[in-house]
Amino acid sequence: MNETQTPMPEQKREEMKMPQNSTTQENPVPHSAANGPVIVMLAVLMIIVLGAMFFWAMQLNKPAVVVPEITRPTAEQNNEPESTTAEAQTDSMGVVSSSDEIDAINADLESTNLDSLDAELGAIEAEFEASAQ
């Protein structure tokens, strides 16, 4: 190995100055006009995905809705009195003509007994008033 030392450059004690003739060249980052919309679309897509995940998580935390099975009460469970006249009237309502002729319809209307309708409506109204008290 050669052990010759290189001399240190001499520095003057003057104030350091930037050279005035040289131009500095910076490497600007190429800016494309397509970068802005792509970034915005990615941000919107990320917000939509996060919102969908939040909505899905909320749906998983909800308790399941149990729909009760509705059953019709039997005659013993039903506490309403049945009269024989009500059954007879119901049976007589089933005896109507299946014709769609005007004369047959008029005959069915005339044979319908509407005399007891006011008494039945009065009884229903009395039951409502009794249950409201």
Tokens of 19: 């050279």
Q: Going residue by residue through the chain, which has 133 residues, state the pLDDT in tens, using 9 for 90 and above.
A: 556 777 776 766 667 676 677 666 666 556 666 688 889 999 999 999 999 999 998 888 777 778 888 777 776 676 666 666 666 666 666 677 778 889 988 888 887 777 777 777 888 888 888 888 7
Sequence letter at residue 66: V
Alpha helices in 26-83 (DSSP H): 35-61
Are 97 and 108 in contact by the 8 Å Cβ rule? The answer is yes
Contact 97, 104 (CB under 8 A): yes
Contact 92, 68 (CB under 8 A): no
Whole-structure pTM over 0.95, yes or no?
A: no
Q: State both tokens at 104.
A: 């047959």
Domain ranges across the chain:
99-133
